[in-house]
Structure 1
Amino acid sequence: MASQPEFDAIVIGAGISGLYMLYRLREMGMTVRGVEASDQVGGVWNWNRYPGARVDSESETYAYFFSRELLENFDWSERFAAQPEVLSYINKAADVMDVRKDYTFNARVTAATWDDDAATWTVSFEGDRPDMTCRFLVSALGPLSAPQYPNIPGRDTFKGLTLHTGLWPRDPGGFGPAPLDFEGKRVGVIGTGSSGVQVIQEMSKVAGDLTVFQRSPNWCTPLGNGPITADEMQEIKANYDDMIGFLDTTLAGFSHIFRDQNTLEATPEERRALWEELYKGPGFSLWLGNFKDVLFDKEANDLVSEFVADKIRERVSDPETADKLIPKDHGYGTKRVPLETKYFECYNQDNVHLIDVKADPITRITETGIETESGKFDLDVIIFATGFDAIVGSWNRIDIRGRDGVSLKDSFDEGMSTYLGMQVADFPNFFMLVGPQNGATFCNIPRCSALMIDWLDGLMRTALEQGTQVIEPTSEAQADYTRLCQKLLSRTLIGSTNSWFTGINTNLGREGRDALVWIGGNPMYRDLCTRIRENGYEGFLFDGAPLAEEPRKAFA
């Protein structure tokens, strides 16, 4: 007989997905507790407060849509909101959901252990905070929330100011970054991914001397940002229902849809005209509003890649510098595309210098700066824009033990395999939000994760109605879903590219490709989940038995 835990459910994380999941669990009558490592809500937008941080989703789409009150009472000021405004929005949403009272803050989870006899999870914390127990454990840890540093000798010896974009000091009296003074300073930035591009744009405006240490250039394209007027905001509010309906038809929940035409079906003049228009933005227009084969057909991808390369050459005055900024190891869109505002023009400034660390590797960090094979750079500030242990890192940093003490990290390391990106066999009553192989990870997260949470709400309500103590996936269903993830990814150029989409992380020695993301798109994922629900939550066991004794259909 299972013992009674303290809570029906515990939600780890107070970001966009965690807050909404807790709200839905509480609304169905569960006793629920949220735990959060920070002292406030916001998740990634609370930690990543670096200058220049902003969304790459159109602001009005980066939102909760369940609450008419929230939709009507929050006005976005820019097409692509900056970090302080996004965090302000999340705080407003937390007020509307009234969830802060259900959270324990400053509670960093170190371990979670399943007790098969008691059918409960025990959650352990850093420091002397007592353990908590629950029946259902939901991990809303975020796919980009485990900051990583490069393996550079002497990293801790630097005597100047050291910063990481994912752990930026915050303004104690507001939602933005701490008021640090970079005026006239010698600043070094390591990394040119999305966060690096954004912070470089800002540092170039104030630093006396800015040195960018680039390992791998990216296919950056214009953000197309601008203000949202009061009239435009009213029009957005008046058409929210239509907008939501459209988002749910797109590949990744963004405001863009692929053309129903292949690249080579258009004339060179037609291709050029379309790409010129899409290149201006807004947002992911060129990436997700392009010809339908650009992420599948190499010839098509080569053509659009050369178009973007030409744009870089047009915008960067020095041909040698421009060449360094053009990727050679992957085609356009086969990694997540950083969006920028006059990023390439930064390299035309006398105070900005680009170091290609593949050609001139960093050998060490010293008390006074950074040394490469060819020389040394004296610095006042070093900014690590080196990203995250993406998708799996947040889960791997917690010692999660399932049935018979099996480790989730070991399970991941043996080969990524999940059921719907929500559960893993041998980890009963353990749910993941926006993690590996989840339908919301390669997506506009607020919209796609809300759809998934709404579906999970139905699963949990069914469990409550059945008096179920334990929900878990079958190994067969998990294997089928994983094969589908692998099959879909292998059909794309993304699947043959080294990136965090495919599990590559050279900093951590992970060099074998794996299917870490669901690449089939939001509509296909929702259709699959709908079929699974209609088949009696096919692939899930409720206290060891399926709800419906029917032949398997969802993966046919």
Structure 2
Amino acid sequence: MAIIETPVRDATAEAVLFDAIVVGAGMSGLYQLIRLRELGLRALVLEAGTGVGGTWYWNRYPGCRFDSESYSYGYSFDRELLAEWHWSEHFAPQPETERYLNRVADKYDLRRSIRFRSRVTAAAWDEAGLSWTVTTEDGGAFRSRFLITAIGALSSPTMPNFPGMDSFRGQAFHTGLWPKEPVDFAGKRVAVIGTGASGVQTIQEVAKTAAQLTVFQRTPNWCAPLHNATIGAEEMAAIRARYDEIFARCEETFSCFLHTPDSRNTFDVTEEERNAFLEKLYAERGFGIWVGNFKDMLTNREANRVISDFVANKIRQRVKDQRVAELLIPKNHGFGTRRVPLETRYYEVYNQPNVTLVDSRATPITRITPTGIETSDATYDVDIIVYATGFDALRGAFDRIDFRGRDGVTLKQVWDHGATSLVGMLEHGFPNMFMLLGPHTALGNIPRSIEFNVEWVSALLGHMQANGLTRAEAQPAAIAAWMDHVNEVAKGLLSMEVDSWMTGVNINVAGKQVRHVARYTGSAPAYRAWANGIAERGYDGIALT
């Protein structure tokens, strides 16, 4: 494979030729660029925004922060950066994380290889030229040997389609497309539509200053306390001394968090021991109560009822008005079967006189008016509407780009009845295209998955470079075997019975919603073992020519 030291103008395609194009300058795109440079490849990153950061660039809504411990979230590959960076909180807020990723971009001089304000709209494979042509919204055209998507699992915001949305005369924002300029809620009448993770974080902040906050909830979620705290110099020094231990822990746990399921089943212990354990988890930081609970919590219906009842009673204790408390307790899914938002005094918000909860299932929103929101039984005049309506997860960002592989077949066509992949990173019919956070990669504590996937792709590119190979394509039999494994490990999970982005029901397939296994539900170590096995067998299942 020829290494291109400078971009070359391809007269035939009227496009600039690179070795590799990376779509997205978030956490995965930045790290991939570093590794591509180490391979000596000429790389270009195309980024829709005006700065680096991905998730932490676009999501600037009030209260936005990690729900993974900060020191388990940052990059592990750079010892200098680990030694110099001081995380100010156990769960860092968005501005700090954006600063961190800008520090990485500065340290490695990455911006000279990034083209900002360049939203990718299409990418087409040319079999004769063994290259991809990537086009951007502003008319730019670029060719590369390899195409690497770093577009994120939760990066395509979804808006509702209420009548009259364009007529609203106040301010309106989606949490995933928040403006850089501060939004002042003080003394304002604010509506928040949605109570998922971003909605919960927004609500608990807006309630501090808004004159009136009206929350429109369609589906309540099980939330658990974050228990955030600041990190002083002495504690940060102790954390730095444990970084090897911290990252080794993330390497061995089920979801790459510092927490992993307890070795006991729910009914292996007495009721007294069980309650004491649940109380302990509820009082601890982070996701322990979700991913560090009894090992059968997400597979045994009766065990799940125990934890659901426990958390429901906590909500009843924290919310004074029991009618409101019951509205906040999910009735259509058990604890942990959907993503669990972590909160800081979220339930206490509903004790405030300036906060009203509207049950949007009982009284649905019928339209947005010039002055507010109309439901089936009332009208609410507001100054600001916040749409915390989530994302078209996992494959949504892929659907918004016109990917065309061999013979002009689109990725949408291939994924018409649900996405497929080889270890979430390759798809048959799309040679030399690698997906860093494609469907069926191990998610969980995402930066830990990002580092593994970037290094796996980089190792494959290095193997191709060393052996004079120019084309890589996943084979159908290997994809079928991987998908059989993906479906097998999902069996018996209570979460597979629940409508959520984790089961693909946010995707409209052939005009209807079809539940399928939309993510890898096995352990991160099992995922890595499968991917590493492919590499160890000489990239078995990938046609290299």
- 1:456 and 1:401 mapped to 2: Cα distance? 21
What is the aligned-residue identity percentage? 50
Q: Given the alignment of the two structures, is residue 107 of structure 1 paired with residue 118 of structure 2, yes or no?
A: yes
List alignment gaps of at least 5 residues for structure 2. Answer: 3-7, 11-15
The alpha-carbon deviation at position 165 of structure 1 amounts to 0.5
Q: Given the alignment of the two structures, is residue 157 of structure 1 paired with residue 160 of structure 2, yes or no?
A: no
- 1:181 and 1:322 mapped to 2: Cα distance? 29
Q: Given the alignment of the two structures, is residue 186 of structure 1 paired with residue 189 of structure 2, yes or no?
A: yes
Counterpart secondary structure, 1:206: coil
Partner of 1:540: 542
- The code of the aligned residue for 2:384 comes to V
Question: Matches of residues 350-365 of structure 1 in structure 2 within 5 Å?
Answer: 350-365=353-368
- 1:319 and 1:413 mapped to 2: Cα distance? 45
Partner of 1:317: 320
Partner of 2:429: 426
* C-alpha RMSD over aligned residues: 1.5
Q: Given the alignment of the two structures, is residue 98 of structure 1 paired with residue 109 of structure 2, yes or no?
A: yes
- 1:331 and 1:204 mapped to 2: Cα distance? 27
Partner of 1:83: 94
The alpha-carbon deviation at position 528 of structure 1 amounts to 1.1
The alpha-carbon deviation at position 510 of structure 1 amounts to 5.0
Partner of 2:503: 502
Question: Matches of residues 405-420 of structure 1 in structure 2 within 5 Å?
Answer: 405-420=408-423
Deviations for 1:420-464, whole angstroms, at most 9, x for unmatched residues? 10011001001111121112xx21111121012112221111111
- 2:521 and 2:369 mapped to 1: Cα distance? 42
Deviations for 1:201-236, whole angstroms, at most 9, x for unmatched residues? 011111100000000000000001001111110011
Count of paired positions: 533
Partner of 1:459: 460
Answer yes or no: is the 8 Å Cα contact 2:395–2:419 preserved in 1. no
Counterpart secondary structure, 1:365: strand
Question: Matches of residues 314-463 of structure 1 in structure 2 within 5 Å?
Answer: 314-439=317-442, 442-463=443-464
Answer yes or no: is the 8 Å Cα contact 1:263–1:271 preserved in 2. yes
- The code of the aligned residue for 2:293 comes to N
Counterpart secondary structure, 1:541: strand
Picking from 531, 534, 543, the partner of 2:533 is 531
Partner of 2:471: 470
Deviations for 1:41-60, whole angstroms, at most 9, x for unmatched residues? 01011010011000000000
- The code of the aligned residue for 1:190 comes to I
- The code of the aligned residue for 2:228 comes to N
Picking from 266, 274, 279, the partner of 2:277 is 274
The alpha-carbon deviation at position 467 of structure 1 amounts to 1.0
Picking from 180, 189, 211, the partner of 1:208 is 211
Answer yes or no: is the 8 Å Cα contact 2:44–2:114 preserved in 1. yes
Answer yes or no: is the 8 Å Cα contact 1:107–1:125 preserved in 2. yes
- 1:491 and 1:26 mapped to 2: Cα distance? 44
Answer yes or no: is the 8 Å Cα contact 1:53–1:82 preserved in 2. yes
Deviations for 1:335-387, whole angstroms, at most 9, x for unmatched residues? 11000000000001111000011000100001010000001000101000001
The alpha-carbon deviation at position 512 of structure 1 amounts to 1.0
Counterpart secondary structure, 1:414: coil
- 2:406 and 2:533 mapped to 1: Cα distance? 28
The alpha-carbon deviation at position 283 of structure 1 amounts to 0.8
- 2:418 and 2:206 mapped to 1: Cα distance? 40
Picking from 6, 13, 19, the partner of 2:30 is 19
Answer yes or no: is the 8 Å Cα contact 2:363–2:375 preserved in 1. yes
- 2:110 and 2:44 mapped to 1: Cα distance? 10
How has the CA–CA distance of structure 1 residues 144 and 201 changed in structure 2, closer, same or farther, with 3 Å as cutoff?
Answer: same
List alignment gaps of at least 5 residues for structure 1. Answer: 171-177, 544-556
The alpha-carbon deviation at position 152 of structure 1 amounts to 0.9
- Of 415-424 and 491-500, more deviation after overlay is shown by 491-500
The alpha-carbon deviation at position 252 of structure 1 amounts to 1.0
- Of 480-489 and 106-115, more deviation after overlay is shown by 480-489
- Of 91-100 and 502-511, more deviation after overlay is shown by 502-511
Partner of 1:516: 518
- 1:292 and 1:124 mapped to 2: Cα distance? 47
Answer yes or no: is the 8 Å Cα contact 2:508–2:514 preserved in 1. no
- 1:68 and 1:353 mapped to 2: Cα distance? 48
Counterpart secondary structure, 1:305: helix
The alpha-carbon deviation at position 281 of structure 1 amounts to 2.8
Answer yes or no: is the 8 Å Cα contact 1:164–1:385 preserved in 2. yes
